[in-house]
Amino acid sequence: MIVSNTSSEANHHSVILGTDQPMPLDCGTMMRDISVSYNTYGTLNADKSNAVLVCHALTGDQYAASQQPLTGKDGWWTIMIGPGKVLDTNKYFIVCSNVLGGCMGTTGPKDINPETGKPYALDFPIITIGDMVRLQALLQDYLEIPDWFSVIGGSMGGMQVLEWASSYSERCFSVIPIATAAKHSAQNIAFHEVGRQAVMADPNWHGGHYQEQNSKPRAGLAVARMAAHVTYLSESALHRKFGRNLQDRDKLAYGFDADFQVESYLRYQGINFVDRFDPNSYLYITRAMDYFDLARDNGGSLAKAFEGADTRFCVVSFSSDWLFPTTESKEIVRALNAVAANVSFVEIETDKGHDAFLLDTPHMLETIGGFLQSTAQRRGIAA
């Protein structure tokens, strides 16, 4: 099956997978008839050698380079995807799907449980990064793409990339994990737990059954987003952008309104997030990240996770990223070196923090662009 479109436009798709044979989940249950929503950009070539899978982060979706329908804003990776860009849609066929447990068309906790006729809510099975990738592999089968030219993503997207390289190395010619780790740290689990507790403490959560009550824990989800967003930025970036500047006033109000610009910014981030994201999806997806641990899943050895992988790796980290610091990328590189994998690594100097992979970070664009160019030559993809 070849899906094609003009190089500068997105095609929006939805497909039901796991119909003939249910998909096993790591928690021990099975799922069938799973809806998957995905976008494609560019054209699949005749020998199907130019397909790139883009994996989105925690709060991302399949609208990587096209307008997000709920917000009307541009896609989250327009800096990377498009004609003449690093992920050149004149050259590559880009696929980006909403993850399992998401809330933009792929089956998740807000969808109807066929056994009850009501939203799954907390009856939705606990999912893992491995489950997300397993579903993406079913989508790859559906698209009849033998192997991806590259699998790329940052943060939680980078976790999916590493899972691909570990579990399906024969299905990916190259991988680019950005600003990520082979396991979620205790600090990051702690931040996620603060966010989950904020959602669940909101009286409008109703034990997860807010849809049936025609309500939504907006305040709790907004606080969760505010707390998480702080971790995406560096202290220097916050200082450069806001400092201690006051918001729309020339003196302190001596109250609890948003006196400072940084407070107003975080409130804006929280309020806008609740309009496009499902609270229960937030619980499930953060939990999936918490459970991610490639070494644990491979007998305690991270190197074993990549044994026999005939895949080209480009590992990217950022100097000011304290959420997924460079030390965690170096741990991945050491494991790859231990099994003589083909790996390149770069730490990019920037004060933009974890969010640098979503922003105009020239060294990142140059590094990934150069890696893809050399890999495309090896693959035999025309320039």
Q: Which residues are catalytic?
A: 155, 321, 354
Cα(84)–Cα(91) distance, integer angstroms? 9
R_g over Cα of the chain: 21
What does each C-alpha distance from 13 to 95, 104, 137 come to in angstroms? Answer: 10, 12, 16
What does each C-alpha distance from 187 to 56, 104, 160 come to in angstroms? Answer: 22, 28, 20
Among residues 311, 339, 1, 23, the alpha carbon closest in space to that of 170 is found at 311
Cα(138)–Cα(74) distance, integer angstroms? 28
Residue holding tokens 């669940």? 200
Among residues 102, 51, 115, 43, the alpha carbon closest in space to that of 379 is found at 51
What region does 243 belong to: left with phi over 0, alpha with psi -120 to 50, or beta? left
Structure tokens given for 248: 């729309």
Our measurement of the distance from residue 159's CA atom to the centroid of its chain's CA atoms, rounded to an integer in Å, reads: 8
Among residues 6, 139, 136, the alpha carbon closest in space to that of 66 is found at 6
Structure tokens given for 60: 């991302």
Any long-range contacts for 367-370 (C-beta under 8 Å, 24+ apart)?
367/314, 367/316, 368/80, 368/86, 368/152, 368/176, 368/178, 368/314, 368/316, 369/86
346 and 367 Cβ atoms separated by less than 8 Å: yes
What does each C-alpha distance from 364 to 31, 65, 234, 319 come to in angstroms? Answer: 38, 18, 17, 12
Cα(327)–Cα(372) distance, integer angstroms? 24
Among residues 381, 383, 373, 382, the alpha carbon closest in space to that of 49 is found at 381
